[in-house]
Amino acid sequence: MAVNGSVPNGTAEAPIEVPALPTVIGVNFGNSYASIAEGLPESIANEDGERQIACAIAFHGEETYIGNQAKQQLVKNASNTIVGFRNLLGKKYSELPKDTATASAPVIQHPDITDEPAYKVQVLQASPSPLPSAVNTKTNTPAVSQTATPRSEPVLVDRVLTPSEVTVIFLKSLLQSAEDFLGKKVDGAVITVPSWFADNQLEALRKAAHAAGINVLQLLEDAGAAAVTTTSGPQAAGLNPDRTQLVVDLGASSLSLTLLSIRHGLFHPLASSFDPTIGGDQIDNKLIKFFAKEFTKKTKTPLAVCPSSDKADIRAEARLRLALEHTKRTISASPGAATCSVESLKDGLDFTGTINRMRFDMEARPIYSAVYSKARELVESVGLDFLHVDEVVYVGGSACLPGLDETLAQGYPESTVTAFASGTIVGGGVGDPTTLLARGAALQAKLLAEIGHSGEDEEVRRAFEQGSKWAAVKATSRTIGILFPEEGADAAGLGGQWIGVVPAETAVPVRRSLSFDVDLGDDAGEKKVGFEVWEVKEGIKVEKVKQPRDEDEELEEDEEEDDEIEVKEKTIEKDIHLASLVLTAKHAQKQKGRWRTKLEVQVLLGADGAVEISAWEVGKEGKGEKTSVSVPSL
Amino acid sequence: MADIVQIPTVIPPLPPNWSPKPASGKSVSPLVDRKLIPAGPAYLAHIRRAVHNLSFEEHDKHVEAERKRLVELNGDGTGEDDLGVGDEEEAPELLLLDPKEWKKQDHYAVLGLSHLRYRATPDQIKIAHRKKVLKHHPDKKAGVAGDSNDDAFFKCIQKAMEVLTHPEKRRQFDSVDPYYELLEEDVPTASQIKSAKNPNAAFFSLFAPVFEREARFSRVQPVPLLGKYEDSKAEVEGFYDFWYNFDSWRSFEYLDKEVNEGSDNRDDKRYTEKKNKTERARRKKEDIARLRNLVDVALALDPRIKRIKQEEKEAREAKKKTKASTGPTKAELEEEKKRAEAEAKQKEEEEKVAKAEAKKAKAAAANAAKKARRAAREAEGGAS
């Protein structure tokens, strides 16, 4: 009972305090699959419990299917199912390749708009409600309607949809899923886009998102989203904040590789490549062929697939393709064999086949090798070697396959960190390639939502837009570091302890602070710490080493030549001496008969190329006196 | 973002013949143009510095201000308020507890409330339970540990929750809280306090926590606590008065032997029940004796009692002294007497005078009345 202002039962007051920050999500909108996330380690699942939502829309009668349900329609209702529409956004009909055969609704020229691609699907239009009679009669009395009495049954009509209209429908459903999951209205989103999207494509996507009711905070390129995810949160052990990262995005329909230079969370692409001919679909094709052969062997029924021409074969191929999804997931998750079962594959015959990982990798090997050679090409195009790649990040559903990592592992050294090596790929770990982009976009959305709204902040916000002038920066071309001379060090080498401070490809201005312990020897006299600042040349030394062999082995293959393997090593060569710095240690403390102190060195590299190096001791009472030396600007 | 990179290597000492090379005067190699990807917090920081034209130090300050602004927007930085429950790591031996032996477990430690114990509010218990369940639910452990049947600690948590949310059961457990049982054993002794550097301060620092933790058993709340050295006599007396008449709710049902439910033997049950009852009574008696003993020890050692006695003695002596030294002299006394006598005389005389006058007035009044009556009679006679 509501007595004297007490709260009556059933008030609609929010039970928890709602933070003032807006609700934002990240959307990974791929050509084949999409995912949504909201800053949590796991991405958001849609109503059907899918975290990887297929970019497909199917029309069947009065129903519209979106996502993985729509994919199922590819078997029996292929002509009314639309897939792969994202890449057509903003494109003209004349720009599209015409010869591609698809199992889904074909792309046609829009009947009304010139040079506009479109899809034609058949839908049942719901029986129209009785038309209102002509209302605006002069006497305002009911008058006879001019139109014929409408039919009460749904009519089969052709519906023409442009790619951007399809995108609107799809994005709307994503937004709906996110809002249902969060229970809150979504205020904004960051959507990922491939780096090769042209301006008009970006514009088309922006418009479509706007029409779907999404406030686009930023269109972030895929590699950026991947880098945001991998640079935020707890970092894997052995991962330097300054590192070169190779983002391998192997989606269903394309491969894109990006080599990023990550410098304390600030990153820029060194090189990128895109290949629409390599993708998970190619792996699918190989496997479909494999299973079709097995089917023929088992049942003596001919099944010609990839390409298939007969209607029954086309349907069988679509069935296999859907079933393979599950097989691929099983292969990725466990080392054992995976099955592929299709009921009534062709002529009413069921099929169950198994494939183990070795066989699977054998089938997929050509695709893996293609990725490997592409990656090698990319790394070498900027004068680097696989040795310089500190981290490999896998993105996309097909990148979950362990065989891909095994193939690439032949190239890069053991120290390179991958999600496979650190075991974060399965079970929604941080390295899960299927959700990595959506999570990165969500983190970015959160960052953008937190920017204030004052005048200067607006300028900051604009800096996140595509092609902002603020994104253009200068970067160092060589590594700058400090060298602590050491007694008895190899004179031919660097002659001391080398610590790289500002690596090459670091955007300026930059500040780096280092802290370390210094051994000051065992005599009690005046103690000095000194170091030189050098700019160095980095290279790669290739050595051929003879493989040591076991003796009994030697007996067998005596006539064979000795195996030689190449051993690569990074080399550093002193080039330009920038400055030297000496300071007297005053806060040294004796530990086990040696004098020790703690030193902090800060290197400031200005936008004009001027360097300021400062060093101070850190004692118990805090920072000691600061000693600085500077290098003139360019 | 002045994050300092810790370098694990130790720098060797300088070679004796090393001297700093003069600067070459050369600059760094020419910079190259690059295009950053506009994403990530570091890019935001970079843009802030560029747009506002800040140096790194100025930006550090700006970041701090921004953080505060966001904390305000979010309510508090951590998100939800856990009422100070915090996150207690379980000790490894705690995780090995057997739920069958639940009577022996420390329910507060299981729920991660060992820093609050009897002070934990029902809300805090609820929050702590939720936290622990989130962490130890068997569903959550299934994939991680591999052994999906390892729900022993989860059962312990549920048992702890059952005990602590039931007010009566919680009191029973609080009565025999193992943490305090241990503390109860080391009560400060006379020798401990006497041997301390400052026995006065030692008394208060050692006994205050003892009384504080005993206070939780009192039915009457609030309980007067030990207080401080300067307390008045009334306060100190009130304190000891309260503690000698301490009304404790402490009970020992928790330690009862289980009645053997399996046996149908009524006598058996009754026997166990009877035994439990006597055991409880014995424990209660012991507890009362223990507390009494404790108060006795405290009273005997209390420096305030000594101080108050001393003060009272001093006050008595002072009184005596003032009586002896400042009493009135004989001459003065006589003078006083005389003055009083004179005053009395004067008063008497005044009274006499007043009486005489009153007599006179009365007589005059009577005369006047007689005259008036006579005149009236004459007038009457004349008229008739």
Domain count, chain B: 3
If you search the block for the tokens 């009692």, which residue do you land on?
A: B305
pTM of the model as a whole: 0.66
CATH number, position B106: 1.10.287.110
pLDDT for residue A290 = 92
Residues B121 and B205 in one domain: no
Cβ-Cβ contacts under 8 Å, B41 against chain A: 232, 265, 447
- Indicate whether B234 and B125 sit together in one domain: no
Nearest CA-CA distance, residue A13 and chain B, Å: 18
Q: What interhelical angle do A402-409 and A357-381 show, nearest 10? A: 50
- Which H/E stretch holds residue A37? strand A33-37
Is B101 a residue whose pLDDT tops 60?
yes
| Residues of chain A above pLDDT 70, percent | 86
Nearest CA in chain A to B75: A19
Domain termination site, one of B112, B142, B174: B174
Where does the pLDDT of residue A7 fall: very low under 50, low under 70, confident under 90, or very high at 90 and above? very low
Mutation target for A interface from B4, B7, B37: give the one with most A CBs within 10 A.
B37
Based on the fold, state whether residues B217 and B266 are members of the same structural domain: yes
Whether this model's ipTM surpasses 0.85 comes out as: no
Using an 8 Å CB-CB cutoff, list chain A residues near B144: none
More confident residue, B40 or A544: B40
Interface of A with B in 16-35 (CB under 8 A): 17, 19-21
Chain A residues 484-543 with CB within 8 Å of chain B: 484-488, 496-497, 499, 505, 507-509, 511-521, 528-530, 532, 535
Task: Locate the chain B residue with the closest alpha carbon to A225.
Answer: B39
What's the alpha-carbon Rg for chain B, to the nearest Å?
Answer: 45
Are B99 and B202 in the same domain? no
Q: Is residue B303 part of a domain?
A: yes
Q: Are B114 and B88 in contact (CB under 8 A)?
A: yes
Q: Do A464 and B22 touch (CB under 8 A)?
A: no
Per-position DSSP letters for A435-475, written without gaps between them: THHHHHHHHHHHHHHTS--SHHHHHHHHTTSTT-GGGEEEE
Cis peptide preceding A307, ω within 30 of 0 = yes
Tell me the C-alpha distance between A56 and A217, whole Å: 25
| Each residue's pLDDT tens digit, A72-119 | 888 888 889 999 899 888 888 888 887 666 778 888 888 888 888 899
Give the gyration radius of chain A's Cα atoms.
31
Residues 6+ apart with CB under 8 A from A394: A248, A250, A400, A404, A405, A418, A419, A420, A425, A431, A433, A436
> Smallest Cα–Cα separation from A574: which of A511, A516, A489?
A489
Residues B105 and B205 in one domain: no
For testing the chain A interface, which of B4, B36, B63 should be mutated: the one with the most A CBs within 10 Å? B36
Q: What is the pLDDT of residues B140-170, one digit of tens each?
A: 766 555 555 578 888 999 999 999 999 999 9
What's the whole-number average pLDDT of chain A? 82
Residues ≥6 apart with Cβ < 8 Å to A120: A105, A108, A158, A159, A160
Domain containing B61: what range?
41-74
pLDDT in tens, B235-288: 888 999 999 998 889 988 888 887 766 667 888 888 888 999 999 999 999 999
Q: DSSP state, B254?
A: G
Average pLDDT of chain B, as a whole number? 83
The residue-averaged pLDDT of B213-227 equals 87
Tell whether B262 is covered by a domain: yes
Beta carbons of A206 and A193 less than 8 angstroms apart: no
Domain boundary among B151, B174, B197: B174
Residues B158 and B103 in one domain: yes
In a domain, B339, yes or no: no
Q: B21–A223: do the CB atoms touch at under 8 Å?
A: no
- Domain contains B318: no
| Mean pLDDT along residues B350-374 | 86
End-to-end CA distance of chain A: 79
Report chain A residues whose CB lies below 8 A from the CB of B27: 578, 609-610, 631-634
pLDDT for residue A132: 58
Shared-domain flag, residues B303 and B230 = yes
Name, in order, each residue with C-beta under 8 angstroms of A366's C-beta and a sequence gap of 6 or more. Answer: A282, A286
For B309-329, write each residue's pLDDT tens digit: 999 999 999 999 988 876 556
- Residue A415: count of CB within 10 angstroms of its CB: 11
Question: Does B303 lie in the same domain as B202?
Answer: yes
Q: Please report whether residue B245 resides in a domain.
A: yes
Helix (H) or strand (E) holding A486: none
Domain-located, residue B229: yes
Q: Do A507 and B36 touch (CB under 8 A)?
A: yes
Whether B274 and B203 share a structural domain: yes
Q: Using CB atoms, which residue from A261, A515, A634 is nearest to B4?
A: A515
Q: Please, which pLDDT band fits residue A140 given cuts at 50, 70 and 90?
A: low
Amino acid identity at B379 = A
More confident residue, A215 or A457: A215
Mean pLDDT of A389-401: 87
Q: Is A225 on the interface with B (CB under 8 A)?
A: yes
E strands, A365-522, where?
391-395, 417-418, 472-475, 479-485, 496-502, 507-508, 510-519
Q: What is the pLDDT of residue A129?
A: 65
Are B166 and B101 in a shared domain?
Answer: yes
Q: What pLDDT does residue A372 have?
A: 92
Residue predicted with more confidence, A27 or A546 = A27
- Does the distance separating the beta carbons of A605 and B39 come in below 8 Å? no
* Domain boundary residue, one of B150, B174, B198: B174
Residues A260, A268 contacting (CB under 8 angstroms):
yes
Residues 6+ apart with CB under 8 A from A390: A239, A240, A243, A244, A245, A415, A416, A417
Out of A345-354, A515-524, A573-582, the most confident range is A345-354
| B82 chain-A contacts, CB cut-off 8 A | none
The residue with greater pLDDT, A209 or A588, is: A209
A519 and B12 within 8 Å at the Cβ level: the answer is yes
DSSP A44: B
Q: Do B4 and A600 touch (CB under 8 A)?
A: yes
A612 pLDDT more than 60: yes
Is there a single domain that holds both residue B205 and residue B260? yes
Residues of chain B with Cβ-Cβ distance to A447 below 8 Å are 40-41, 44
Question: Is the Cβ–Cβ distance between A58 and A65 less than 8 Å?
Answer: yes
CB contact under 8 A, B26 and A581: no
CB of A605 less than 8 A from some CB of B: yes
Q: Would you state the pLDDT for residue A10? A: 45
Pair of tokens at residue A574:
């002193």
Q: A235 and chain B: CB distance < 8 Å anywhere?
A: no
Residue of B5, B36, B73 lying closest to A267 (CB–CB):
B36
- Identity of the residue in B16, B27, B47 whose CB atom sits nearest the CB atom of A470: B47
B56 vs A604: CB contact, 8 Å cut-off?
yes
Q: Do B14 and A631 touch (CB under 8 A)?
A: no
pLDDT of residue A234: 67
Q: Give how far Cα A306 sits from Cα of A38, A77, A117, Å.
A: 39, 19, 26
8 Å CB contact between A2 and A8: yes
pLDDT tier for residue A176 given thresholds of 50, 70 and 90: very high
Q: Please indicate, yes or no, if residue B361 is contained in any of the structural domains.
A: no
Interface probe with B: pick from A16, A451, A580, most Cβ of B within 10 Å: A580
Listed range (A303-317, A420-434, A550-564, B63-77) with the worst mean pLDDT: A550-564
Flag if A20 and B73 touch (Cβ within 8 Å).
yes
Kindly report the nearest CA distance between residue A129 and chain B, in angstroms.
Answer: 49
Q: What is the pLDDT of residue A490?
A: 61
Amino acid at B170: R
- Interface mutation target, options A476, A498, A537, A581, chain B, most CBs of B under 10 Å: A476
Please tell me which of the candidates A21, A465, A631 has its beta carbon nearest to residue B27. A631
B3 in a structural domain = no
Contact state of B11 with A521 under an 8 Å Cβ cutoff = no
Mean pLDDT value of segment A33-56: 86
In terms of Cα–Cα distance, which of A75, A111, A73, A74 is closest to A93? A111
- Cβ within 8 Å, pair A225-B32: no
Instruction: Check B3 against A580: CB less than 8 A apart.
Output: no
pLDDT score at A524 = 67
Q: Are residues B162 and B195 in the same domain?
A: no
